[in-house]
Structure 1
């Protein structure tokens, strides 16, 4: 896991004048791009039948502090106690047309010495022309990306490294998988992606429709949490991680200026103490940029 270069190397500063803004030519606008937005979808397996065997020291996560989908992977890695099993590093918070980069603020790439995350994609598929996303799960052995498909990455971290993981927490128990999968589906559409659709809405009517969808979903979850501590009962699961990363950003980012709801997260009777309850755990707190002091207030939920 040592740094591959003696002297850290970094990308040049963000330069929108020279490189433009990230998006055109990389996302849905890529000419002729007819593959999934997240096309690298390898899976980790305990026996290696997928080509990627679960083993300590082999895999590395590239994540970003500012990306909620990457944030999930960092939380699950820490919840499962995999810090010494799967290494992790951060890209810089800002992007220009080159995509995610490694700069001094967040540190160098400790595995490959890349300056741009695009280099990991190019190493995996020469001439790759699609979206440069995080999280990325990298395989040191084959020197390629295993996956950039964020829903799979957290499931594999939660389930495929049990030999080295904390056995006290099962984030994806067999008996609850149908319920978790159902929750994950509508939480993703109505909340995780819903807050972004509000901001991107082209018309006022579209914005109102998307805004009401998010608010209705939050109210539905608030009612659910009136009866139980976590989304599926008494223990944290994958569904809680997926919801929390949006809740942590709701008041200060997505709902700034009450773009989505007249109610802030702090106004929800059960969602607010639930979110604070999770924040007391190191896996949530230590992977999150500092939150306002109110998040440290007693949450009033039984342990």
Structure 2
């Protein structure tokens, strides 16, 4: 854990004293967009044209935010267009690192750097802020295009369609209002809600967060009892954004973040939905439970000082889900 302050690395945990024990997530600072013609996107400046062998993605296999980008990359078949480097699962005094002494940790394939914060410094040598993944890097301009996962998945959804991406629109025009509305409660209550519960340092902050988590899970459970996916019978980005939290919930968040009122496996529709997406082509290959469990249990010394990894509840994500038949 840590952050850069005017280009200098500092090993500091989150400040919850000034917020009444509440965890407050920092806002992504790099918000440019790749577009088919290089025109400016929804944020930032222009000049980032969709091209082969120009962009590089840095991810953690443990991180749910980075996982979103891997899901969209797989669904859109961008593996040959956007290569990936995978950080080491442990995030300790130097933050995310490019150590390779853990299976599937690749190191920095571009510059052979040691730490992820060095990528940020290449983009802005006086950067102040958290060093997070995913990082979408532009090799041509030698800068970070974006470190905001919600933007990156929308770029991957459509920006590369003319240069070899697979067909498929996961943010279709006719569903955007509904997708945006679902994202508006899934993000604060579930995606970020588990962190607000796990990193809370007061009982009131924890109670507020964990109640929000389970209120929203009940809401999602009800929706998924009506149709295969959140907006109907078409897979969209809303499903991917929810799913990366669900796949980590029972192995990590139940125990480590004290979100233990229920497990995902206690919800018939959510558990079926979890298995349904896991079994889609290319998805299971993006999941690495060794990275996930080692990262959370061994990186957060403030809440698990001895780094003990729980055995975790058993899950069988390969078991039949029946949702394709139920909602056919």
Report the TM-score when normalising by structure 1: 0.85
Q: 1:202 deviation in Å?
A: 2.6
Aligned to 1:197: 196
Aligned to 1:187: 186
Unaligned runs of 5+ in 2: 1-8, 19-25, 40-45, 291-313
Q: C-alpha distance in 2, partners of 1:83/1:145?
A: 19
> After the TM superposition, which parts of structure 1 deviate over 6 Å for at least 4 consecutive aligned residues?
none
Within a 5 Å distance, the mapping from 1:154-233 to structure 2 comes to: 154-163=153-162, 164-167=164-167, 169-233=168-232
- Residue aligned with 1:119, SS: helix
Change (3 A) 1:78 1:200: same
Aligned to 2:305: none
Out of 96-105 and 249-258, give the one that drifted further.
249-258
2:316 to 283, 288, 294: 294
Answering whether residue 148 of structure 2 is matched by residue 149 of structure 1, we say: yes
Unaligned runs of 5+ in 1: 1-18, 29-35
- Residue aligned with 1:100, SS: coil
> Does the CA contact (< 8 Å) of 1:20 and 1:96 recur in 2?
no
- Residue aligned with 2:201, SS: coil
> Does the CA contact (< 8 Å) of 1:274 and 1:299 recur in 2?
yes
- Residue aligned with 2:90, SS: coil
Answering whether residue 42 of structure 2 is matched by residue 52 of structure 1, we say: no
Out of 178-187 and 259-268, give the one that drifted further.
259-268
1:223-244 Cα offsets, whole Å, 9 max, x none, are 1011100111112111111000
1:57-81 Cα offsets, whole Å, 9 max, x none, are 1111000011110011111101111
- Residue aligned with 2:130, SS: coil
Q: CA RMSD in A?
A: 2.2
> Does the CA contact (< 8 Å) of 2:198 and 2:257 recur in 1?
no
Aligned to 2:27: 37
Aligned to 1:95: 91
Q: C-alpha distance in 1, partners of 2:315/2:85?
A: 27
1:23 to 8, 13, 17: 13
Task: Number of aligned residue pairs: give it.
Answer: 276
Answering whether residue 137 of structure 2 is matched by residue 138 of structure 1, we say: yes
1:172-227 Cα offsets, whole Å, 9 max, x none, are 11111111111112100010000111112232233222211111100111110111
